[in-house]
Amino acid sequence: MKSFEKIKYKRLTILYFLFFIISSCKFNQSYFPHKEGKQIIYEVFFQDKENKKSNFRQSFYFFPRMENAIPVLKNDGELTFYVVQKNGIEKKSIDEFMSTGISNTKSEKNVDLLIAFPISTGTEWETNDKTTLQMKLGYDRIYNTNLPFKLTNKITEVNKTISIKGKKIKNCIKISSYGKTSYNPGPPLDNINIEVFSTSWFAKDYGLVKYKREEKSDSETMGKIIYEKTMLISD
């Protein structure tokens, strides 16, 4: 049995339990894959601060919908839930989902919103994000620092048509995001400023079809990080 299939099998017990306590009804949001029980595959490109490049794939299995929520299993075993709230589409971990359920209420904070409502040009919201600063000390010591920051997201285009490997995808929304943070490692290094830019394209009946993120720094030692992923569309 493939590793992804083993992971999916182990998670089924949790999902079956959830199906017993949650009755199914029509999912009222179309920015997700239109076929239930579908596996979505993305081609991913990554470039680290040392300009090393890699290409790989990520897969996500979308389980049948539960009221205003849909469970999603990533190929690394991470299980999350996309929940449609009154103020937008929220991403929850399984622990958050089990503790709060799928009540359609407005979140106190917009920290986990993937898309905010209304879906129209100019809609803006903030989310919590973080980046990891990696520094080499001497020849064999590597120091990692997690830097949290606020990411400002804004819907900049709606009803947009984009092309993915020659296939035209209609009814897309474009979300542009920006954030910044800084870190002072101390002498002899100066303050390190980091800017984060990202762009997401969501399409009706597909979900996230394209994503690009760049992290830039004013320090020569930090370089630039690029992360891109594009959905493999077969239909």
pLDDT value of residue 57: 96
Which tokens go with 203?
Answer: 């399409």
Q: Of 231, 203, 212, whose CA–CA distance to 60 is shortest?
A: 231
Whether 225 contacts 47, CB under 8 Å: yes
Whether 82 contacts 66, CB under 8 Å: no
pLDDT digits over 10-52, tens only? Answer: 454 444 444 433 333 344 457 877 666 788 999 999 998 888 9
pLDDT value of residue 24: 36
Whether 96 shows a pLDDT value over 60: the answer reads: yes
pLDDT digits over 202-227, tens only? Answer: 998 889 999 999 999 887 666 789 99
Top-confidence residue, 234 or 203: 203
pLDDT digits over 148-196, tens only? Answer: 899 999 999 999 999 998 899 999 999 999 999 988 877 777 788 899 9
Which tokens go with 73?
Answer: 């299993």
Which tokens go with 211?
Answer: 């994503």
Residue ranges covered by each domain of the chain: 1-30+63-117, 43-52+120-235
pLDDT value of residue 54: 97
One-letter amino acid identity for 214?
Answer: E
Q: Exposed/middle/buried for 165, CB within 10 Å: 0-12, 13-18, 19+? A: exposed
User: With DSSP H G I counted as helix, E B as strand and the rest as coil, what are the percentages for the chain, rounded to 5?
Assistant: 10, 55, 35
Q: What residues pair up with 141 in beta bridges, in sequence order?
A: 137
